[in-house]
Amino acid sequence: MAGVTNAPFRDLCRSHGAGLYVSEMISARGMVEGHEKTFRLARFGPTESPRSIQLYGTDPAVMGSAVRRLVNELDAEHVDLNFGCPVRKVTRHGGGAALPWRRRLFGDVVAAAVQAAGEVPVTVKLRIGLDDDHTTHLDAGVIAEQVGAAAVALHARTAEQAYSGRAQWSAIAELKSAVSTIPVLGNGDIWLARDAIRMMSETGCDGVVVGRGCLGRPWLFADLAAAFEGRSADTAPNLGAVVTVMADHARRLCDWHGEVTGIRDMRKHVGWYLQGYPVGPAARRRLVEAHDLEAFVACLSEMDPSITLPPEAVGLPRGHQHGPRPVTVPRDFWVDRDDPTPLGAAADLAASGG
């Protein structure tokens, strides 16, 4: 998740449970052009394993070069390609979740990544399509399989839906039926481990991808590992356990970014960690306004560790909920699905989201 899954957050999640923790979305073009910010975002932790990175791009040649750099210079061990971004400034150039509509171009982009990656597995993340009248997941899943992707993941919403409503898990089942030789991973609305088990049994998918459910809840990965081993585990820690993780998270961010940026980055996580807990606005504000690690930890220590999460707050959605909103694509975009011409640099703009 852009703006969230940096190396310290991935490391924190990994400390809670088994899983593959993918980087924030990185621009393939930024990588090829050597932009400093792109390389900063792409940095792995010193002991990170496996080194997993998500790329965004629309041009086969650019994607191939970016993957080669990632594998050769940054020792990436897994590359995920994001074709799920619903943001208007990307889709209006035909990028993001719009790209799979141009199925030949989509296939060329994935094939270029797979070839450049050599032995390193390349996976593909999709949405259902642009809107209900322009779905792409089945074609795109089959094409990705044919050109050598190692797995496909589906965020079971259209770009038009953005993050609104319920994910349409039936589309994951459809994709599972269409793709036969590589794993299909389901994504959308996994808030608790039991949601993952339910998604797998309802859709037949081979695994799950978690986004918003881990915001302020990195222990979800421990719950998932337990649930996959057949133990039931939906943890609702008391506030004492939550603030211990918050302090750990803040320390990791400060070690990674330096204290000023680290504490600033931590601000966005405060509301997620405290979601549902009866903690008043003044205490929340003090945390968000803390200007260094010591002050942040001091505010945490003032909280009552015995506070519990009310049962009605367990498993509630968190993070983005916005949408639906109309999707914009270039003029005549719908006409020729088999036009392989790259879309131009404007479509390579990396905006956050999936």
Ligand X SMILES: Cc1cc2nc3c(=O)[nH]c(=O)nc-3n(C[C@H](O)[C@H](O)[C@H](O)COP(=O)(O)O)c2cc1C
Binding site for ligand X (CB under 6 A): 1-4, 24-25, 54, 82, 84, 125, 155, 163, 187-190, 210-213, 319-320, 352-354
Which helix (H) or strand (E) segment holds residue 170: the answer is helix 169-178
Q: How many CB atoms lie within 10 A of CB 109?
A: 29
φ and ψ at residue 110, rounded to 5 degrees: -65, -45
Task: Find the shortest distance in angstroms from Cβ 167 to ligand X.
Answer: 6
Q: Tell me which residue has tokens 């619903």.
A: 86
Closest-by-Cβ residue to ligand X is 354
Beta bridge partners of 81: 55, 124
85: annotated active-site residue:
yes
* Of 183 and 240, CB closest to ligand X: 183
* Of 328 and 352, CB closest to ligand X: 352
Task: Find the shortest distance in angstroms from Cβ 103 to ligand X.
Answer: 20
Task: Find the shortest distance in angstroms from Cβ 175 to ligand X.
Answer: 14
* Of 95 and 213, CB closest to ligand X: 213
DSSP three-state, residue 39? helix
Q: Which DSSP letter does residue 122 get?
A: E
* Of 5 and 65, CB closest to ligand X: 5
Q: How far apart are CA 252 and CA 256, in angstroms?
A: 6
Beta bridge partners of 126: 83, 154
Which one of the listed residues 13, 85, 205, 214 is annotated catalytic? Answer: 85
DSSP three-state, residue 303? coil
Question: What single-letter amino acid sits at 9?
Answer: F
Task: Find the shortest distance in angstroms from Cβ 258 to ligand X.
Answer: 23
Q: How far apart are the first and last CA of the chain?
A: 8
Q: How far apart are CA 32 and CA 86, in angstroms?
A: 24
- Nearest Cα to Cα of residue 13 among 325, 269, 338: 269
Q: Report how far apart, in Å, the C-alpha atoms of 300 and of each of 205, 249, 284, 294, 318 are.
A: 40, 12, 10, 10, 21
Q: How far apart are CA 333 and CA 93, in angstroms?
A: 9
Task: Find the shortest distance in angstroms from Cβ 23 to ligand X.
Answer: 9
Task: Find the shortest distance in angstroms from Cβ 24 to ligand X.
Answer: 6
* Of 3 and 278, CB closest to ligand X: 3
CB 99 within 8 A of CB 92: no
Q: Alpha-carbon Rg of the chain, whole angstroms?
A: 20
Q: How far apart are CA 305 and CA 313, in angstroms?
A: 17
* Of 153 and 239, CB closest to ligand X: 153
Task: Find the shortest distance in angstroms from Cβ 335 to ligand X.
Answer: 28
Q: In degrees, to the nearest 5, what angle opens at C-alpha 20 toward C-alphas 152 and 352?
A: 70
* Of 65 and 187, CB closest to ligand X: 187
Q: In degrees, to the nearest 5, what angle opens at C-alpha 165 toward C-alphas 142 and 58?
A: 40
Active site residues: 85
